[in-house]
Amino acid sequence: MTGVVQQTGSAIRPFRAEIPEEALTEMRRRISATVWPDRETVPDSSQGVPLMTMQELARYWATDYDWRRCEATLNALPQFVTEIDGLDIHFIHVRSQHEAALPLIVNHGWPGSIIEQLKIIDPLVNPTAHGASASDAFHVVVPSMPGYGFSGKPISTGWGPERMGRAWADLMQRLGYTRYVAQGGDWGAFVVDQMGLLRPPGLLGIHTNYAGSVPVDVYRALLAGDPPPSGLSAEERRAYEQLATTLTRVAYARYMASRPQTLYGIADSPVGLAAWLLDHDDAGGQPAAAVAAALNRPASDAGELTRDEVLDNITLYWLTNTGVSASRLYWEYKGGFWDAKGVSMPVAVSVFPDEAYQAPRTWAERAYPQLIHFNEVDKGGHFAAWEQPQLFAEELRVGFRSLRPSPVPEPRS
């Protein structure tokens, strides 16, 4: 049992994460009993996550890491479960005290979870406590994607980004929100693009930090391994080359897209799961530079990603046995990854320098003809909300500002 849902007879039920102690004991036992391979034969990570990195992480995970701290953080937030389209969906829902708060649904990706968004909730809900204005407040909803975390695991096919987009629209309607916005990065960016195509009633606009902006001809050349098309600007050519490099680092994605059920090892070994989740890429290489740096960071006053936060996310996957069920999302999705999808509603785009690619403004303007915000920030990467929560929150405040209702003027005396 991975959590407690209180049946109240209503469609939305309160939830608390309560992991049995024996599950944590068994996890630590399995970590300590890991059968290790030989050391890599290269002095870098070109063959995968280095043995020393994994052994040091495993020692800490088995002896010093405290899941109960993360569990307490989760349980300090209002959590719920509701059934949508035949599947239980777990979500965090925090309402702001500010009356004019704008409802916002935030989508995580892989290899992430709701753990990625925990640090942005308070800056968004309580902006005055973080140096911002009450007029920039949000009511925040953070769902766990199907097959991830405490949400249900699909037992049949069909749960791709398109279906998730419809489910999130149902969720916001069920919560009573008639006007709202949506945000996403990684797979969450695919979901909000689909919501933008769906244009459900009440959705005012979307924000993405992983823009699907590549023009059709450029995307076709990229997938074919051809040289960049002629006529690209220097910025567009840089983006093309970044994506070409990224395509050399996504063997994990190709495997999950073709054979996710074969990944039995990540359901049987905590260390196997951790290595699989860590071997993700960003602009700094593979494993992702931000995550690799976090493994050596016990704490951060600036909100940067830390070792415990990385382990919180990995441990959530382990305790909910969602390594394989989460991987199936790659198998489900048959569309393009970075290509423009045809979204014609208001879109805000934030470009982070350590993302897999930096979407050029020219491409973003073509992909999103109702572009309401475009900004290239000075730090942060693929896990932007996790890495730079204050900066990320400010991007959402500014990005969605034009979609808020105009304030009612005070009557003249």
Give catalytic residues, as residue numbers. Answer: 186, 330, 382
CA–CA gap between residue 372 and residue 363 (Å, rounded): 14
CA–CA gap between residue 154 and residue 156 (Å, rounded): 6
The residue behind tokens 């008639």 is 178
CA–CA gap between residue 286 and residue 283 (Å, rounded): 8
Nearest to 243 by CA among 258, 257, 260, 224: 224
CA–CA gap between residue 29 and residue 318 (Å, rounded): 13
β-partners of residue 84 are 87
- Helix/strand/coil (H/E/C) assignment for every residue in the chain: CCCEECCCCCCEEEEECCCCHHHHHHHHHHHHCCCCCCCCCCCCCCCCCCHHHHHHHHHHHHHCCCHHHHHHHHHCCCEEEEEECCEEEEEEEECCCCCCCEEEEEECCCCCCHHHHHHHHHHHHCHHHHCCCHHHCEEEEEECCCCCCCCCCCCCCCCCHHHHHHHHHHHHHHCCCCCEEEEECCHHHHHHHHHHHHCCCCEEEEEECCCCCECHHHHHHHHHCCCCCCCCCHHHHHHHHHHHHHHCCCHHHHHHHHCHHHCCHHHHCHHHHHHHHHCCCECCECCCHHHHHHCCCCCCCCCCCCHHHHHHHHHHHHHHCCHHHHHHHHHHCCCCCCECCCCCCCEEEEECCECCCCCCHHHHHHHCCCEEEEEECCCCECCHHHHCHHHHHHHHHHHHHHHCCCCCCCCCC
